[in-house]
Amino acid sequence: MFAVTATQTDPDNPLAGLTLGERPEPKVPDGWTTVSVRAAALNHHDLWTLKGVGIRQDRLPIVLGCDAAGVDEDGNEVIVHSVIGTGADETLDPKRTLLSETYDGTFAERVAVPRRNLVPKPAALSFEHAACLPTAWLTAYRMLFDKAGLQPGATVLVQGAGGGVATALIALGRAGGYRVWATSRSESKRERARRLGADQVFEPGARLPERVDAVMETVGQATWSHSLKSLKPGGRVVVSGATSGAVPPADLNRVFFLQLSVVGSTMGTREQLQRLAVFMEQTGVRPEIDRALPLADARDGFAAMAEGEIFGKVVFTG
């Protein structure tokens, strides 16, 4: 079968290890099944794997890709939950893994997954839109509706509009009844964030009209100081990524004096993915897709992500 594989890692030239071509059919352990992939979405996780982040070298070569929507062996249209773990909240399992870390991922004609990881795809969602949900949109859903602890009408600041999680946060936040503000270095991305549903948009570090109830943080070091300074007393910053660096000054005096909360959030549960799919069906919200490419042209999608030229999701189709 045709697949997109990481065959080596290179932090300076990640695309050097990107290999497109034939791979063996997936092995199917007991309790697992296969899904014929109709659409799969690209994440920064895939680029980081090619850089050697979070992957053991003895796992190479490995098929890339966390996200997919397709058809199971019984002909059902499904969304693949990419967290392989146990317990009521598999994201808290210390031995959890994502597809493409220990097991081959979704950038292939077929992928093997545990049966419990399949979520019904609503008929109203296209395969391309459904494929965007399991990582970026599920991460945003958990951040907003689980970790943030907000009521509708609260004000949320989304740092770094443009990436998959950030665009999902804007669209979901607007649909959930929050007042959403967003930052971006790019004027064009700020305007697109406004069209997605952001009430106001700002340059990074800009003084805000008022302090916010919560900040959704995926950028990390570059925006951390601004995130803390933007919060109301008692406010909360929810962190699910640190693409610009993971060790900013903590500013503990501000944290304890204003009684701020810093909450980590990673991915989401299968149950949350199922609720997210229903939420999308009921509200009509759809992921922003920057571009859809045949899987055979995956290198172009990776290159665009590496160069920061995307707004929303890159989707590969069979």
Share of the chain above pLDDT 70, in %: 100
pLDDT, position 48: 94
Assess whether pLDDT exceeds 90 at residue 318.
no
What letter represents residue 116's amino acid? R
Q: What is the pLDDT of residues 64-85, one digit of tens each?
A: 999 999 999 999 999 999 999 9
Nearest-angstrom CA–CA distance, 93 and 105: 20
Query: Nearest to residue 169, comparing CAs of 153, 184, 157?
Result: 157
The per-residue b/e assignment along 157-180, b for 16 or more CB within 10 angstroms, e otherwise, is bbbbbbbbbbbbbbbbbbbbebbb
Point out which residues pair with 275 in neighbouring strands. Answer: none
Tokens of 188: 């064009």
Domains along the chain with CATH numbers: 2-132+287-317 (3.90.180.10), 137-264 (3.40.50.720)
pLDDT, position 162: 84
pLDDT, position 24: 96
Nearest-angstrom CA–CA distance, 102 and 140: 24
Q: Do 234 and 207 touch, CB atoms closer than 8 A? A: no
Q: What is the pLDDT of residues 25-34, one digit of tens each?
A: 999 999 999 9
pLDDT, position 211: 98
Exposed / middle / buried, residue 58 (Cβ in 10 Å: 0-12, 13-18, 19+):
exposed
pLDDT, position 295: 98
Query: Nearest to residue 111, comparing CAs of 10, 20, 27, 192?
Result: 27
Assess whether pLDDT exceeds 90 at residue 170.
yes
pLDDT, position 308: 87
pLDDT, position 309: 84
E strand or H helix at 121: none
Question: Can you spell out the DSSP letters for 228-266?
Answer: HHTEEEEEEEEE---TT-S-----HHHHHHTT-EEEE--
Assess whether pLDDT exceeds 90 at residue 195.
yes
Chain mean position to CA 157? 18
Q: What is the pLDDT of residues 6-59, one digit of tens each?
A: 999 999 999 999 999 999 999 999 999 999 999 999 999 999 999 999 998 999
Q: What is the pLDDT of residues 225-278, one digit of tens each?
A: 999 999 999 999 999 999 889 999 999 999 999 999 999 999 999 999 999 999
pLDDT bucket at 107, cuts 50 / 70 / 90: very high
pLDDT, position 9: 97
Q: What is the pLDDT of residues 132-166, one digit of tens each?
A: 999 999 999 999 999 999 999 999 999 999 888 99
Q: Do 32 and 114 touch, CB atoms closer than 8 A? A: yes
pLDDT, position 260: 98
- HSE of 284, CA atoms in CB hemisphere, 13 A: 1
Mean pLDDT over all residues of the chain?
96
Q: What is the mean pLDDT of residues 201-212?
A: 97
